A = this chain, B = another copy of it.
Amino acid sequence: MFKSLKIKPGRLLQTIHDTAESFGAMYKWGEHHTETGLRRLALGDEDKGMRDWFAKEVVSLGCELKIDELGNMFAIYPGQDMSAIPTGVGSHLDSQPTGGRYDGPLGVLAGLEILRTIKENGYVPNYPIALINWTNEEGARFPAPLLGSSVWSGSTKKEDIYKVKSVTDAPPRTVLGELERIGYKGEVECSHKTNPIACHFEIHIEQAPFLEMAGKKIGVVQGIQSFNWQEIIVRGEAKHTETSPMEGRADALLAAARMVIKGNEIGIKYGGLCSTGYLDVEPHVFNVIPNEVKFSLDTHHYEEDKLRSMLAEIRETFDAIAAKGDGTSKAIPLSVEYIPVFESPPTHFHPECIETVRNAAIEVVGEDMIMDITARAGHDSKETSSIVPTSMVFIPCKDGVSHAPTEYSTPQQVEDGFKVLMNAVLGYDLLRKEKA
C-alpha cells in the first residue's frame, strides 16, 4: 500500500535548488547560495537546458517521453495496465522574467519525486502515470498564458499560438520559431483527444498569504476564480512639453495615470483585484506630451457577477476620465479603446479529485491544518479541468510573495506538499481501479 512508501526527505528540495542553479538562477537576495530568484523564460536557452535535464531524468526512470507539437512533455511511467489512459500530474518548468524558484518547477519536480519514490520502493501503480511539463504557463515571454495546456485542451488553436511573438526579445521571436530553434517541436499531436490523460493533479505554491495568515499547511483547491485581461489604449495629442501651456493639452499619460489609480480603487471597493502590470508611452520622448498610452488591466473576482459589475464600473469611469480630458477649462477630450486579451469564467474542479486531495492532506497534516481555497491565478489545471477531473494542492509561501525572486516556502512545507500530492495521485490510481 502506497502510504507505507519510504521517501527520501529533502531530495525534492535539493532537486529544485540544483536545477534552479543550473538553469536560470538570478537575482541574489540572501546570503545562502539557494537564496536567489529564477529567470527561465519559456523556450529560451535556460528552458531548453532544464528540458534536456528533465528528459534525461525521466527516461532513466523508465518513462516513455512523448513531446508534442507545442513542446509539452509527457513522461509516461509504466503501470500494471499499460493499455490504460495515464493518471496525469504536472505543472510547468518556465518562470517569470524576475521569478522565483518554486512557481512551476515545484509542480513538475514533485511529480518527478513521486516517480523516483515509487521506483525505489518497487511500487507499480495500476495505471501509467503521465508526468507533464506544460509549455509557457507563465505567458511572460509569450503573452499567451497556459499556452501549451490551452492548445492541448482545445481552448486555443495551434495555428494562432505558433504566431504569438515574444515580448522579451528585440526583435520579437515567434513560438514556432523558438520551438524549432531549441528542438522541442515534437511529433505528437497537441490534443487531449489523441494524447489523453485520465485526470490532472498539480501542486503549486499559494502565491497569496491566506494559508500563512490562517496558520494552515495545505490548501485544497476548489477551483479558480474568474478573471478578465484587457489592454486599454488612451489617445490624446502630442505637443512640445516645454512650450505648450498646461491648459489645452490632451496628455494621454495624465489620463492613463488617473485610470490606473481609479482601476485600483474599484478593485478594492468590490473586494476583487484590479492591477496594471505594464504601461507603454508614445512617442516616449523627454519633451513631448504623450499622444498614446497603452496599459494592461488584470481584473479578478471570486464571484462572476461581481466581476461583471467591476468591469462595467471601470469602463464607465475610464470613459468619463477620457471625456474630461485634463479637467482644465480648455479641456480636450481624449479617446479610450478597450481591447479584450483573455477572459476566463470561474473554474470548478472535480469533486472526486478535490476529495482525493482532501483525504491525502488529512492523512499528512491532519484535518485542522487544511483549508479550502479558490485559486486566483490561472494554472495549467484550469485547462485540464475543462477536459478531465482535476484538482490542485497548495502549500504556503512566505508573505504570499510570488513572481518575484524572494518567493519562498520552507523545506517542511515543500515536503508536506509533496506527500499530499503523492498520496493524491496514488490514491486516485486506486480509486480508478475500484471504479473500473
Contact = CB atoms under 8 A, between A and B. Distances in A.
Interface stretch (A150-158, A249-257, A412-420): A249-257
A287 B281 contact: no
Given A251-B264, A284-B277, A291 B404 contact: yes
A275 B170 contact: no
Interface in A239-280: 239-248, 251, 253-254, 256-258, 260-261, 264, 267-268, 273-279
Given A246-B264, A376-B242, A377-B242, A285 B400 contact: no
A168 to B, nearest CB: 8
Given A207-B243, A242-B377, A257-B260, A278 B268 contact: no
A222 interface: no
Given A97-B283, A283-B97, A286-B229, A377 B243 contact: yes
Contacts of A253: 260, 276, 279
A182 interface: no
A241 B139 CA distance: 13
A386 interface: no
Interface string A284-297: 11111111000010
A167 interface: yes
Nearest to A264: B254
A206 interface: yes
B284 A281 contact: no
Given A253-B260, A288-B403, A208 B275 contact: no
**SS of A interface (majority):** loop
A328 interface: yes
Contact of A268 (B239, B283, B288, B328): B328
A61 interface: no
A254 B246 contact: no
State the copy count for this chain.
Answer: 2
Interface-central residue, A240, A258, A296, A326, by most chain B CB under 10 Å: A240
A317 interface: no
A351 B298 CA distance: 59
A237 B402 CA distance: 11
Nearest to A282: B98
B257 A261 contact: yes
A171 interface: yes
A217 interface: no
A270 to B, nearest CB: 10
Contact of A239 (B258, B278, B375, B404): B404
Interface in A281-335: 281-291, 296, 298, 300, 326, 328
A261 B207 CA distance: 32
Nearest to A213: B245
A194 to B, nearest CB: 31
A62 interface: no
A278 B284 contact: yes
A257 B97 CA distance: 23
Given A237-B404, A260-B254, A400-B239, A285 B96 contact: yes
Contacts of A209: 245, 248
Contacts of A376: 242-243
27 contacts: A140-B285, A140-B288, A170-B171, A238-B403, A239-B400, A239-B402, A239-B403, A240-B377, A241-B275, A242-B275, A242-B376, A243-B376, A244-B400, A246-B267, A246-B273, A247-B268, A257-B257, A257-B261, A258-B261, A275-B289, A276-B290, A277-B281, A277-B287, A277-B288, A278-B281, A278-B286, A287-B298
Which 3 A-B pairs have CB atoms at the shortest separation, nearest pair first? Answer: A241-B275, A257-B257, A207-B243
Interface of A: 96-98, 139-140, 143, 145, 167, 170-171, 206-209, 227, 229, 237-248, 251, 253-254, 256-258, 260-261, 264, 267-268, 273-279, 281-291, 296, 298, 300, 326, 328, 341, 375-378, 400-404
